[in-house]
Structure 1
Amino acid sequence: MEKNNKIFKTEQIKLIEKIYCGSDINKQLGLMERAAKCVMKNLIGKFGKPKKLYVLCGHSNNGADGYLCALIGNEMNISVTIIEEKNVQKRSLLAETTRRKCIEQNIAIEFFDDSYVLDTGVIIDALIGTGLTGVLRGPMQKIIKFVNQQTSPVISIDMPSGIVSDTGYIPSVAVRADLTVCLIALKPGLLSGKAREYIGELVVDDLKIDLCRYPNVSKFGQLLDIDKAIENLPKRSAAFHKYDAGLCVIVGGDFGMGGAPIISAEGSMRIGSGLTRIVTRPDHVIACLIRNPECLVDGINTVSEARRLTDKASAIVIGPGLGKSPWSREMLKTFMNTDVPIILDADALSLIAEKESSFDYKAKKIVITPHAGEAAKLLGCSVREVEENRYAAVNKLQSIFGGVVLLKGPGSILSSLNSDELFVCPYGNAALATAGSGDLLSGLIGGLVAQGKSIQEAAEIGVSVHSYASDMALHEYADKGLIATDLLAYIKQIINGQNFNYHNKD
């Protein structure tokens, strides 16, 4: 079965549903019944058959899904209670139709108020789904806060209520689900940023709709795939030579920050770069050689010394521990003045944001790898504005810099050189929130470019391998105590096809 890796925005999903069902309400109800059966199947599969089921239903079609879940639960002899907001003036046609069916079956319907109390059971969130566009009204906020105070498991239909489905932004409050059943196709809001804290386990079901039959409905993007990343790793022939795997130059390590280029260089070497050179302050040369005797290391004080080091480079990584001193600025100017593919990270991005020097970025083969704070500096906005729509931030950055943009964070987002579609990395966890993690990633990407991979391929493979390595570490240990260089052992396993498919074993 093909992986559910395609991502569609809400309007695109609605268009697919419209083409599939037309105006036939019976066909629409049939699709909703499939959705409800899917939700209940996953609910019981994860939590077992509950004695008590609480279904929170809104006034939209997400509420209709909830009413149908209530009907199925009732048929299974589960004690079902539907909870609604008071004084709902209007419901969608399908919500009204399915609600009447619940009334005909004498399923209890109660209205939420501040004194409401739940017994132990399972809660289904069918309040809003993908319909949110702005800040929730006060009464709905109260219901969601109430749900989040419960100890009972919560399953959300399509999208935890309170999350904007096209962006992942949470304008006020959102349901913290233990399980989210996403229907038809993935939505952007489930995959990146703070929203990932709220979805719990994510299950995707296409409801037997073959998305390949709707080629005229453009998808928003797709998930990166570790299997594809492994397949696309650089290959080596029997007569392979180290110079065939290129030279990756790592530029960074101002005073007090000599560790960053070392970590980046280890990423470059581990992913297969034939030669890796560190260009740093002379003070750090001994430490670099002791840690990585395989590296070429140059201690540089002046621009004239630096210029000669760009000649044979296959890829240049600028930024790990670069700092913001006059030396840092001169290193950036010198190494940007080349036709070699460049990966910009960390302090290099901060210096670029200051706009002291002007470069023709779009004329270069360039990858930028900002986190939200660095992206905000580059865009001249707040971190909050970036997090409100991480996808839009990537598109804006690409319009400025060209090349490939990799916005790091939960659900890292990657732009595409060849289309408007975006890629989202489904791997990674909080263990990556540690010093040196980004330096390691930039080294991986640089090492892949040095071996001849395009900047697009290198960014896709690099972020997939880096993030998946953290998942392997989390699976074996935990998310505390991991340091960036711990990932190197897992990266070695992944690129050699060893134990990288543990996700499929559970």
Structure 2
Amino acid sequence: MTAASPVTHALYGAEQVRTLDRRIIDAGVAGFDLMQRASQAAYDVLRARWPGARRLTVLCGGGNNAGDGYVIAALAVCDGLDVQLVALRDPACLTGDAARACALARRAGVTPVAWREGMTLDGEVLVDALLGTGASGEVRDPLRSAILAINATRRPVLAVDVPSGLSAQTGGIGGVAVHATVTVTFIADKFGLHTGASADHVGELVVESLGTAPETHGDLVPLGELLAAEQLQAALPPRARGSHKGDFGHLLVVGGAVGFGGAALMACEAALRMGSGKVSLATDAAHVAASLVRSPEVMARGVQAAAEAQPLLAQADALVVGPGLGRDAWGKALWRLALDAAVPSVLDADALNLLAEEARDRDDWVLTPHPGEAARLLGSTTAEVQADRRAAVLALRERYGGSVVLKGAGTLIADADGVAVCPYGNPGMASGGMGDVLSGVIGALLGQGRTPGEAARLGVLIHALAGDAAARAGGERGLVATDLASYVRVIANPRS
């Protein structure tokens, strides 16, 4: 998060993990021994999670992921459990360690049965060992129909290494993917298990290193890192007792066309709760009265012509441009004036749509698109963005500069230090105005002297944690953006 905040949880890609796997084997650990370690770890998690289960259904594809499944089946039978092992690939076609695992299972008393569509999967717990981390692209039959059958049972599922159909690299899915209750992943944590579609497929995630230490392989640069709530303590120390409001920045929010004043007001309120020394608002005159009632601390100014905002821009340490701005002549004129002022800025909502029409690049701003806005900025589609969110956020930073926040489940931040993933937040935050609150939080941090990367990472983390705190207090359903403001203040004042 900052120079004083080292990577706390690195995320790797599928190829990097395969490299680590080969290095472990080259160092003297036999591949089959490593498979047995992984299978034992997964089985231990299964028994701890479902101690009362007496019957398992294990579905195996081909390759080492299937080998893990066969070993798990052998362990279960030796433990006195009944096992239905469903083979998606003819066991006679297995090779290498997977074939050895199948032989081990047969010796333990496991009898594989061939998959057929419509068959009954009768385990109390299902084990998904169909596809491993190397799988990519569209899932085709018979694997597709098997995955649909797993999901249709609505029974608990333990996914081995990665839920089948989910990309460990990107978090995208190949049409269908297993909805796991628990995923046990091996050697190192994978980037794709934390963003995009992963939120609906991974379930509880358990990382089993199998005695390895990926971080000691310095030549393998992680694809990213997970943000951690624990980082806030060092990043947000107590304020000096002799502080005054001038020490904490003057943020100007530019937005609020006629009929859209709420977005700008929410950004202002969030900035105040994040500790801005002063917050000003340049908005349509129709919204000034509402601002005074809602947040009298905000210095609201009605602006009919863009030039009227010039004095406000001259006083600002940072800007938030876009909430409720609109794309008509008024909004475009304010957008151009704000960007020409060359003040560190957060661009959100219509400011991003205008940027897509009139591209610029800067090092001192933070862009905060949702997937639809990201698609417009990249000239692609929302589906393409979601299929590989990491590639999309890096492409946005390459094209527009600064730091980029790609919102959504597993929000991503791309900055000069790489890519970070936020593991917090909840479905209750899928409601209007949440992005406006985020822009206010990031803008406040930018105005307090944080770099764009620091402001983006801290802002996303605080916003998500505030959403989780609000959800714990009253539930996810019905959570609204204005609920977050008071929690932003609490999260921004971490206690040791």
- When normalised by structure 2's length, the TM-score is 0.96
User: 1:221 deviation in Å?
Assistant: 0.8
Please say if 1:350 is aligned against 2:353: yes
Match of 2:461 in 1: 464
Please say if 1:477 is aligned against 2:474: yes
Whole-angstrom CA distance in 1 between matches of 2:94 and 2:472: 45
Q: Is the 8 A contact 1:350 1:377 kept in 2?
A: yes
Match of 1:17 in 2: 21
User: 1:92 deviation in Å?
Assistant: 4.0
Whole-angstrom CA distance in 1 between matches of 2:7 and 2:152: 35
Please say if 1:128 is aligned against 2:128: no
Match of 1:203 in 2: 206
Whole-angstrom CA distance in 2 between matches of 1:7 and 1:232: 22
Whole-angstrom CA distance in 2 between matches of 1:476 and 1:21: 49
Please say if 1:248 is aligned against 2:251: yes
Match of 1:504 in 2: none
Whole-angstrom CA distance in 2 between matches of 1:183 and 1:489: 40
Match of 1:429 in 2: 426
Give the secondary structure class of the aligned counterpart of 2:415: coil
User: 1:405 deviation in Å?
Assistant: 0.6
Root-mean-square deviation (CA, aligned residues, Å) is 1.7
Give the secondary structure class of the aligned counterpart of 1:64: helix
Matches of residues 221-370 of structure 1 in structure 2 within 5 Å? 221-233=224-236, 235-355=238-358, 359=360, 361-362=361-362, 364-370=363-369
- Runs of at least 5 residues in structure 1 that lack an aligned partner in the other structure: 502-506
Aligned residues: 491
User: 1:478 deviation in Å?
Assistant: 2.0
Whole-angstrom CA distance in 1 between matches of 2:59 and 2:368: 41
User: 1:213 deviation in Å?
Assistant: 1.9
AA partner of residue 493 (structure 1)? V
AA partner of residue 242 (structure 1)? K
Q: Compare 380-389 and 231-240 and name the one that shifted more.
A: 231-240
AA partner of residue 294 (structure 1)? E
Q: Compare 384-393 and 209-218 and name the one that shifted more.
A: 209-218
User: 1:318 deviation in Å?
Assistant: 0.1
Whole-angstrom CA distance in 2 between matches of 1:449 and 1:496: 17
Q: Is the 8 A contact 2:171 2:192 kept in 1?
A: yes
Please say if 1:381 is aligned against 2:380: yes
Whole-angstrom CA distance in 2 between matches of 1:46 and 1:473: 28
Q: Deviations over 1:260-287 (max 9, x none)?
A: 1110011111011100001100111110
Q: Compare 209-218 and 272-281 and name the one that shifted more.
A: 209-218
Q: Is the 8 A contact 1:154 1:178 kept in 2?
A: yes
User: 1:120 deviation in Å?
Assistant: 4.3
Question: Out of 479, 486, 490, which is 1:489 matched to?
Answer: 486
Whole-angstrom CA distance in 1 between matches of 2:335 and 2:7: 42
Cα separation, partners in 2 of 1:372 and 1:116, compared to 1, 3 Å? same
Please say if 1:187 is aligned against 2:190: yes
Q: Is the 8 A contact 2:85 2:112 kept in 1?
A: yes
User: 1:181 deviation in Å?
Assistant: 1.0
Match of 1:409 in 2: 408
User: 1:131 deviation in Å?
Assistant: 2.1
Whole-angstrom CA distance in 2 between matches of 1:17 and 1:490: 43
User: 1:201 deviation in Å?
Assistant: 1.2
- When normalised by structure 1's length, the TM-score is 0.94
User: 1:235 deviation in Å?
Assistant: 4.5
Match of 2:437 in 1: 440
Whole-angstrom CA distance in 1 between matches of 2:277 and 2:231: 23
Matches of residues 79-228 of structure 1 in structure 2 within 5 Å? 79-87=82-90, 90-228=93-231
Cα separation, partners in 2 of 1:297 and 1:92, compared to 1, 3 Å? farther
Q: Deviations over 1:342-370 (max 9, x none)?
A: 10000100111122xx54x23x4010000
Whole-angstrom CA distance in 2 between matches of 1:306 and 1:252: 11
Whole-angstrom CA distance in 2 between matches of 1:472 and 1:390: 26
Give the secondary structure class of the aligned counterpart of 1:367: strand
Whole-angstrom CA distance in 1 between matches of 2:130 and 2:228: 32
Match of 1:54 in 2: 57
Give the secondary structure class of the aligned counterpart of 1:16: helix
Q: Deviations over 1:280-327 (max 9, x none)?
A: 001111100110011111111112211111112111000011011100
Cα separation, partners in 2 of 1:310 and 1:224, compared to 1, 3 Å? same
User: 1:96 deviation in Å?
Assistant: 0.7
Whole-angstrom CA distance in 2 between matches of 1:119 and 1:85: 16
Q: Deviations over 1:372-410 (max 9, x none)?
A: 000001111111111111111111101111110100000
Cα separation, partners in 2 of 1:452 and 1:15, compared to 1, 3 Å? same
Whole-angstrom CA distance in 2 between matches of 1:205 and 1:97: 22
Whole-angstrom CA distance in 1 between matches of 2:88 and 2:228: 41
Whole-angstrom CA distance in 2 between matches of 1:219 and 1:108: 41
* Percent of aligned pairs with the same amino acid: 36
Cα separation, partners in 2 of 1:3 and 1:415, compared to 1, 3 Å? closer
Q: Compare 343-352 and 102-111 and name the one that shifted more.
A: 102-111
AA partner of residue 94 (structure 1)? D
Q: Deviations over 1:155-174 (max 9, x none)?
A: 10111001122111112211
Q: Is the 8 A contact 2:60 2:89 kept in 1?
A: no
Whole-angstrom CA distance in 2 between matches of 1:3 and 1:476: 31
AA partner of residue 469 (structure 2)? M
Give the secondary structure class of the aligned counterpart of 1:324: coil
Question: Out of 1, 8, 12, which is 1:8 matched to?
Answer: 12
Give the secondary structure class of the aligned counterpart of 1:479: coil
Whole-angstrom CA distance in 1 between matches of 2:60 and 2:88: 8
Whole-angstrom CA distance in 1 between matches of 2:204 and 2:89: 30
User: 1:23 deviation in Å?
Assistant: 7.9
Please say if 1:63 is aligned against 2:59: no
- Runs of at least 5 residues in structure 2 that lack an aligned partner in the other structure: 1-5
AA partner of residue 262 (structure 1)? L
Cα separation, partners in 2 of 1:311 and 1:234, compared to 1, 3 Å? farther
Q: Deviations over 1:191-225 (max 9, x none)?
A: 11122101111122212211232111111111011
Cα separation, partners in 2 of 1:262 and 1:92, compared to 1, 3 Å? farther
Cα separation, partners in 2 of 1:450 and 1:65, compared to 1, 3 Å? same
Whole-angstrom CA distance in 2 between matches of 1:151 and 1:448: 44
Q: Is the 8 A contact 1:230 1:494 kept in 2?
A: no
Q: Which runs of 4+ in 1 moved over 3 A?
A: 86-90
User: 1:432 deviation in Å?
Assistant: 1.1
Whole-angstrom CA distance in 1 between matches of 2:41 and 2:478: 39
User: 1:3 deviation in Å?
Assistant: 9.3
